[in-house]
Chains A and B, each alone.
Chain A
Amino acid sequence: MSIAAVTATRDAPASAILPARGGMLGALSDLFWRRPRFLLVLMLMPPLLWLGVVYIGSLLALLLQSFFSIDEFSGLINRQFTLKTYADLLQPANFDIIVRTVTMAALVTLASIAVAFPIAYYAARYAQGRWKALFYLAVMLPLWSSYLVKVYAWKLILAKEGILTWFLAKLHLLWLLDGWLALPYVGGNSLSVSATGTFIAFVYVWLPFMILPMQAALERVPGNLVEASSDLGASPGQTFRNVLFPLALPGIVAGSIFTFSLTLGDYIVPQIIGTSRLFIGQAVYSQQGTAGNIPLAAAFAVVPIVIMAFYLWGAKRMGAFDAL
Chain B
Amino acid sequence: MRSDRSQSAPLGLKIAATCGLLFLHLPILLIFVYAFTTEEKSYQWPPPGLTTQWLAVTWNRPDVWEALSLSVRVAAISTLVAMILGTLCAAAVSRSRFFGREAVSLLVILPIALPGIITGIALRSAFSLTEIPFSFWTIVLGHATFCVVVVYNNAVARFRRTSGSLIEASYDLGADGFQTFRHVVLPNIATALLAGGMLAFALSFDEVIVTTFTAGQQQTLPIWMLEELIRPRQRPVTNVVAMVVVLVTLLPILLAYYLTRDGDQVAGSGK
Residues of A within 8 A of B (CB): 18, 21, 25-26, 28-30, 32-33, 36, 39-40, 43-44, 46-48, 50-52, 54-59, 61-62, 64-65, 115-116, 118-119, 121-123, 125-126, 128, 133, 136-157, 159, 161-163, 165-166, 204, 207-209, 212, 222-224, 226-227, 236, 261-262, 264-268, 271-272, 281, 284-285, 288, 294, 297-298, 301, 304-305, 308, 324
| Contacts A39-B177, A148-B226, A301-B117 supplied; 18 other A-B pairs, CB < 8 Å | A25-B178, A30-B176, A32-B177, A33-B177, A40-B98, A43-B89, A46-B85, A58-B125, A118-B20, A119-B17, A144-B268, A212-B270, A224-B1, A265-B117, A265-B118, A272-B230, A285-B117, A294-B128
Q: Which B residues lie within 8 Å of A133 (CB)?
A: 261
Whether A154 contacts B27 in the complex (CB less than 8 A), given A118-B17, A146-B245, A149-B246, comes out as yes
B16 touches A118 (CB 8 A): yes
Docked complex Cα distance between A284 and B171 (Å): 55
Docked complex Cα distance between A141 and B251 (Å): 10
Main secondary structure of the interface of A (DSSP, over half): helix
CB distance from B116 to the nearest CB of A (A): 6
Q: Which of B91, B113, B116, B122 has the most CB of A within 10 A?
A: B122
Q: Which B residues lie within 8 Å of A154 (CB)?
A: 27
Binds A, one of B43-51, B58-66, B156-164, B184-192: B43-51
Residues of B within 8 A of A (CB): 1-2, 4-5, 7-10, 13-14, 16-17, 19-21, 23-25, 27-28, 30-31, 34, 42-46, 81, 84-86, 88-89, 91-92, 95-96, 98, 104, 107-108, 110-111, 113-119, 121-126, 128-129, 141, 144-145, 148, 171, 174, 176-178, 199, 202, 206, 208-209, 212-213, 222, 225-226, 229-230, 238, 242, 245-246, 249-250, 253-254, 257, 261, 266, 268-271
Whether A138 contacts B27 in the complex (CB less than 8 A), given A50-B85, A222-B1, comes out as no
Whether A47 contacts B88 in the complex (CB less than 8 A), given A223-B5, A226-B4, comes out as yes
Q: Which A residues lie within 8 Å of B21 (CB)?
A: 119, 138
> Can you list 15 A-B pairs with a CB-CB distance of less than 8 A?
A44-B89, A47-B86, A58-B122, A61-B122, A137-B257, A162-B44, A166-B46, A204-B23, A212-B269, A266-B115, A281-B117, A284-B117, A288-B125, A301-B121, A304-B115
A268 touches B24 (CB 8 A): no
Docked complex Cα distance between A247 and B92 (Å): 35
CB distance from A33 to the nearest CB of B (A): 6
Task: For A121, give the chain B residue with the smallest CB separation.
Answer: B13
A163 touches B5 (CB 8 A): no
Contact of A155 among B16, B43, B92, B121 (CB under 8 A): B43
CB distance from A267 to the nearest CB of B (A): 6
Docked complex Cα distance between A133 and B117 (Å): 33
A284 touches B177 (CB 8 A): no
Q: Which A residues lie within 8 Å of B208 (CB)?
A: 147-148, 268
A157 touches B27 (CB 8 A): yes
> Which 10 pairs, one residue from A and one from B, show the smallest C-beta to C-beta distance?
A265-B115, A118-B16, A29-B176, A223-B4, A58-B122, A153-B27, A58-B126, A159-B43, A122-B17, A29-B177
A118 touches B13 (CB 8 A): yes
Q: Which B residues lie within 8 Å of A212 (CB)?
A: 269-270
Task: For B269, give the chain A residue with the smallest CB separation.
Answer: A212
CB distance from B94 to the nearest CB of A (A): 11
B118 touches A161 (CB 8 A): no
Docked complex Cα distance between A209 and B268 (Å): 11
Task: For A302, give the chain B residue with the smallest CB separation.
Answer: B118
A143 touches B268 (CB 8 A): yes
Contact of A145 among B34, B129, B246 (CB under 8 A): B246
Contact of A308 among B24, B45, B114, B269 (CB under 8 A): B114
Docked complex Cα distance between A142 and B222 (Å): 17
Task: For A21, give the chain B residue with the smallest CB separation.
Answer: B176
Contact of B118 among A47, A226, A301 (CB under 8 A): A301
Docked complex Cα distance between A294 and B145 (Å): 22
A47 touches B85 (CB 8 A): yes
Docked complex Cα distance between A156 and B229 (Å): 11
Q: Which A residues lie within 8 Å of B108 (CB)?
A: 47, 51
A149 touches B229 (CB 8 A): no
Whether A26 contacts B176 in the complex (CB less than 8 A), given A146-B245, A148-B208, A149-B246, comes out as yes
B30 touches A153 (CB 8 A): yes
Q: Which B residues lie within 8 Å of A118 (CB)?
A: 13, 16-17, 19-20
Q: Which B residues lie within 8 Å of A142 (CB)?
A: 24-25, 28
Q: Which A residues lie within 8 Å of B269 (CB)?
A: 140, 212
Contact of B121 among A123, A150, A227, A298 (CB under 8 A): A298
